[in-house]
Amino acid sequence: MSKKDKFEGINNYALYEALSKNPIQMAGRIIELENHFRKYRIHADPNRRKAIIVRLEAAAELSETDPEAAHSDADDILLELIDDEEIVEAYGKIKKWYA
C-alpha cells in the first residue's frame, strides 16, 4: 500500500506530505489544533460540566411552571456552550413557537 493510499479521503495529501518532512511545523499544527478544540471539550473542565448540568437542571425545574422560559434558558445555555457568534446570530433569527 502506498503512502497516498493510507491517506485516502484526506483532501490535501500534499500538505500532509510537506508536514511529514518538517516535524517541528507538524508539531506546531498539532498544538494549534489541540488548543482550538480544547474549548469544546466539556469534560476537560469538570467544574464547567457541573455548572452546565446545574443550569440545565434548574431549567428542567422551571419547565414545570414556565416551559417557555425554561426552553429559552436551555437554548441560551447550549448556545453559550457552542460559543460561536455566527451560529448564535443565525439561531436567533429562527422564529420560536411554544405549545
Q: What is the mean pLDDT of residues 33-43?
A: 68
Q: Which of 49-53, 80-84, 95-99 is modeled with the greatest confidence? A: 49-53
pTM for this entry: 0.54
What pLDDT does 39 receive? 64
- From CA 37, how far away is CA 44, in angstroms rounded? 10
Question: Is the pLDDT reported for residue 98 higher than 80?
Answer: no
Which residues does 15 contact at the CB level (< 8 Å), separation at least 6?
Answer: none
Looking at every residue in the chain, the average pLDDT score rounds to: 78
Distance from C-alpha of 36 to C-alpha of 31, rounded to nearest angstrom: 9
